[in-house]
Structure 1
């Protein structure tokens, strides 16, 4: 009884210690958007997940893996100091937008990389989508809708390095269709009535857009398993020739891998069909094509996260992807 009385006597406004790190809530991948008014939808940003910690002693940017990347995100850190609160933990995604307003992971990698780049670190934007701690209060047990009500007036309307990740009030299936048509990575669905839980959770869902096209197979890299393929080497058409667009190392069974290798070994190329030097690679005449599902193009015109879906012989009716006529 004494313990119960003491617990009830604690004021609701008593400051709670600010966590040094909060393991992020991670969305579960599903095939289609959920239905129901309890779900909120947002754009799926393609960037680095960050928690921005604001304290009287300074601001830090912590990655999903727990690394301190404060120095890489100077503009975000500087703006976080001006948000008007003594202590905060904001959950969000750091991105770089392309000229069509879409987040582009390749541009982000260049902006934070050590190599010289046409993209400056000042172009990085932090899209804030959750508030975990505010002015001495841990908010994680609050429903998402209430956390975002507190977050919105802090970051909404800003056009600098920190911006609000808006909820899209629409039917999930329709929003997903439009997102994919506009070349976005996908959408996120979140339960409005749930607290914030670390780790991969069913109350946060991600639905990814996928592209599917046909590419010429110009060779392979052997696998460590005898008689099988480690990576298929793929090419697209560019003008009258072929250009290398990356390797694909997933999507087939062991049996399919062995069959592919037998087919390619039977059509060796006298010289590489594409400008590529790769130690240990076997080059084949581009007489076979692969159906490949992938997420996007990188800035150096390579397929991002390709997955093999099937192969067939190249014929007059087959159209190999043409770099000249398709936007990247």
Structure 2
């Protein structure tokens, strides 16, 4: 590796075994108490991951605002379960953005279209935002094409990279929007 060496911080959040004793049947807070007791205080690399009781929605909002991935929520009195189950939830931060369908690329296969061309409102104008082509089942592809086909016109968009929209069909010339 070039440059400054990477640093790694390890956050321990659960303890499943201690001195040969299986702790998986203990409730989560009991396991965490044992974990906290054995971790060295103020260790710069190995850290105890504390828990917060209640206020989950507020915590998730703060984590999302900080750009973090999300939160793991566990029932405080639950025993350890190796697989995801009803005793814990992984709640991800979801970022949302409203887009406008400004066109589509035709498909050379059985699909109704290959991808949608998206625009985003920016200072009173529509600006090219990219393409999306996955996540649609056949019925949804056909439904969208039925709506878009009557609006079809060939028009280049002013700010879309030509390679991105080559062969595309547009529902309207959004340069004037």
Q: TM-score range by the shorter chain?
A: 0.5 to 0.7
Normalised TM-score (structure 1): 0.41
Residue 147 of structure 1 corresponds to 31
Q: CA deviation at 1:274?
A: 2.3
- Give the match's secondary structure for 1:258: helix
Say if 1:269 and 1:133 are closer, same or farther in 2 by CA, change over 3 A: farther
After TM superposition, give the deviation of residue 190 of structure 1 in Å: 0.5
| Deviation for aligned residue 1:156 | 5.9
Among 227, 232, 255, the alignment partner of 2:116 is 232
User: Deviations along 1:187-221, whole A, 9 cap, x unmatched?
Assistant: 22111222211222110112333232222445347
State how many pairs are aligned. 172
Unaligned runs of 5+ in 1: 1-115, 289-312, 317-328
> Residue 237 of structure 1 contacts residue 243 of structure 1 at CA under 8 Å; is this kept in 2?
no
State the SS of the aligned residue for 1:206.
Answer: strand
1:158 equivalenced with 2:51 (yes/no): no
Change (3 A) 1:234 1:270: closer
Displacement, 1:145? 1.1
Given the alignment, which residue of 247, 271, 277 partners 2:132? 247
Q: Judge conservation of contact 1:221–1:229 (CA < 8 Å) in 2.
A: yes
* 2:53 maps to 1:133: no
Whether the 8 Å CA contact 1:235–1:243 is kept in 2: the answer is yes
Gaps of 5+ in 2: none
Distance in 2 between residues matched to 1:129 and 1:157, nearest whole Å: 16
Q: Structure 2 matches for 1:289-308, cutoff 5 A?
A: none
> Does residue 266 of the first structure (1) align with residue 152 of the second (2)?
yes
| Pairing partner for 1:285 from 156, 170, 173 | 170
CA distance in 2, matches of 1:189, 1:257: 36
Distance in 2 (CA, whole Å) between partners of 1:126 and 1:221 is: 49
- Match status 1:193 vs 2:48: no
Distance 1:245 1:206 in 2: 29
Deviations 1:220-272 (A, max 9, x none): 47485x2424543435477988454453522x553331132351682344479
CA distance in 1, matches of 2:111, 2:57: 43
Kept after mapping to 2: 8 A contact 1:190/1:204 = yes
Q: Which of 45, 52, 55 is the equivalent residue of 1:168?
A: 52
Larger Rg, first or second structure (1 or 2): 2
Report the Cα distance in structure 2 between the residues aligned to 1:163 and 1:169, rounded to whole angstroms: 19
Write 1 or 2 for the structure with the bigger share of strand. 1
Q: Which has the higher helix share?
A: 2
- Over the residues paired in the alignment, what is the CA RMSD in angstroms? 4.2
Map Cα deviations across residues 64-103 of structure 1 (whole Å, 9 max, x no partner).
xxxxxxxxxxxxxxxxxxxxxxxxxxxxxxxxxxxxxxxx
2:115/2:131 contact within 8 Å kept: no
Q: In 1, distance between residues paired with 2:66 and 2:139?
A: 37
State the alpha-carbon separation in 1 of the partners of residues 175 and 126 from structure 2: 15
The 1-side partners of 2:90 and 2:69 are apart by: 10
Q: Give the TM-score normalised by the residue count of structure 2.
A: 0.66
1:14 equivalent in structure 2: none
